[in-house]
Chain A
Amino acid sequence: MAMIEFKNVDKYYGKYHALTDINLQVQQGEVVVVIGPSGSGKSTLIRTINGLEEIESGQLIVNGMDLADKKADLNELRKNVGMVFQHFNLYANKTVIENIMLAPRLVLKRDEAENKKIALRLLDTVGLAEKADAYPKQLSGGQKQRVAIARSLAMKPKVLLFDEPTSALDPEMIDDVLNVMKSIAKQGDMTLVVVTHEMGFAREVADRVIFFDQGQVVEDDPAEEFFKQPKEERARQFLSKIITHK
């Protein structure tokens, strides 16, 4: 069974048709990169997967739960589906270590010593062990994003969503974040959906690339094929634009 499955999903903001007839499957352990022009609905798409956005019609099944059902237990879903945001959304009133430990403590009721051990190990993995007691405002953008990733990982999710994780970062910070993401992708057990413009990242670790435009899946290819030659003209144009900008 697919980890994430969209069946004829539609979403509107008032009259605006944000997602049009989405049909999509993501298998467990797959790394899927979603690209497309800004305003195309990529963020809306990824935000439906953990229920931050509701869908109007169709079926969206994530980890066996149908999110079209109004009674779907989103808190239960989010134990298994983590998200990393463009603007980090770290808890401003908590230290780095508390940011990571809070949800496992409250939601998973994880044992305190165990919780701390896991948090410190994750901080070490993202290269920020010495920042455990710092507050988010004392960190650079790239550091904040790595803490945010550690915070999501602490929940041991099956699915991790990245919504333009490097778009708000200074160029020299981007690689640190991408490297962390690459190592998660290469471990291979977690399902990743990544909205990004980082083609280098997509080329290196993506299994599939989805080109999204005007609320629709325009192209859905294995990554190699996509980068060799996209089938659709719109995708080709988009790709040539962002690659010449590099």
Chain B
Amino acid sequence: MITLFMNNWQTYLTGFWNTILCSVLALIFSLVIGSAFAIMEILPNKVLRIIAHIYIEIFRNIPLLVIAMFFYIVIPQYVMKMDGFTAGTIGLTLYTSSFIAETVRAGIQAVDSGQMEGARANGLTYWQAMRYIVLPQAYKLVIPPLGNQFINLVKNSSVLAFLAGFDLMYQGQSVASTTFQTFSAYIIVGIFYLIITLPLSYYMRYLEKKMV
């Protein structure tokens, strides 16, 4: 296995790098988009609430692979050119953002309603109350489920393998098919995923402890 890695380390590292890049991009954008839709879902405005609801239900209930394929095949035909990496990252972002939206919404709703009321009575605007009082408490509450979402996101980035996205999984497949050492080739892939997800998992635990 070590020889296999030594002979193919460049292939693996390219994959490792692409998986990290895709995950980081998707994580940042899905957190931003997810939070925006979470807030839209709890606004008094009914139209925005319905829009957010439709968005979330669409992307939450369609398989990630289908969403990614849509951006890989349909969008380039009618809208704009897009490589597999970009299509996969966009698909992963939208898919994950719908789960993050639901998680963050639950967090906001779990914050005692007296917090918003106290802030409003104290003279803060709705958005000031959200920003300084409600959201910080909501994010703190949802660190554990958000951690799950982030870990899932990293693992789900393997969808890039279907779109020629040159991620870890894709590179592993190519090593397996050229060397015929299927077993070892995929073990190495697994180890690389652990190198990303384990520290992430421990970091989320650390955050959880630190913020209590």
Check if A141 is an interface residue, CB within 8 A of chain B: no
Contact B118–A89 (Cβ < 8 Å) = yes
Choose the segment among A55-63, A102-110, A174-182, A220-228 that binds chain B (4+ C-beta atoms closer than 8 Å).
A102-110
Number of A interface residues at 8 Å Cβ cutoff, please give it: 26
Q: A91-B133, A92-B137, A93-B133 are in contact. Are A103 and B115 (CB under 8 A)?
A: no
A72-95 vs B: 1/0 string, CB under 8 Å?
Answer: 001100110011010111111110
Q: A91-B115, A92-B137, A93-B137 are in contact. Are A52 and B121 (CB under 8 A)?
A: yes
Partner of B114, one of A50, A89, A155: A89
Chain A hits for B114, CB < 8 A? 85, 87-89
Contact A103–B123 (Cβ < 8 Å) = yes
Contact B136–A93 (Cβ < 8 Å) = yes
Bound together, the chains give a CA A91 to CA B114 distance in angstroms of 9
Check if B124 is an interface residue, CB within 8 A of chain A: yes
Bound together, the chains give a CA A62 to CA B133 distance in angstroms of 27
Measured CB to CB, the nearest residue on chain A to B126 is: A75
Partner of B121, one of A82, A87, A91, A92: A82
Chain A hits for B121, CB < 8 A? 50, 52, 78, 82-83, 85, 89
Chain B hits for A155, CB < 8 A? 122-123
Check if A152 is an interface residue, CB within 8 A of chain B: yes
Bound together, the chains give a CA A89 to CA B129 distance in angstroms of 12
Bound together, the chains give a CA A108 to CA B121 distance in angstroms of 14
A7-20 vs B: 1/0 string, CB under 8 Å?
Answer: 00000000000000
Contact A52–B124 (Cβ < 8 Å) = no
Contact B123–A75 (Cβ < 8 Å) = yes
Chain A hits for B124, CB < 8 A? 75, 102-103, 106-107
Check if B140 is an interface residue, CB within 8 A of chain A: yes
Contact B118–A91 (Cβ < 8 Å) = yes
Bound together, the chains give a CA A155 to CA B132 distance in angstroms of 17
Partner of B122, one of A78, A87, A92, A93: A78
* Most A-side CB within 10 Å, residue of B115, B123, B132: B123
Bound together, the chains give a CA A216 to CA B102 distance in angstroms of 43
Shortest CB-to-CB span from A117 to chain B, Å, is 19
* Most B-side CB within 10 Å, residue of A52, A83, A106: A106
* Most A-side CB within 10 Å, residue of B118, B119, B136: B118
Extra contacts, 8 of them, besides A75-B125, A151-B122 (Cβ < 8 A), are: A78-B120, A78-B122, A85-B117, A88-B118, A91-B132, A92-B112, A93-B140, A106-B123
Give the B-binding residues of A (Cβ under 8 A). 50, 52, 74-75, 78-79, 82-83, 85, 87-94, 102-103, 106-108, 148, 151-152, 155
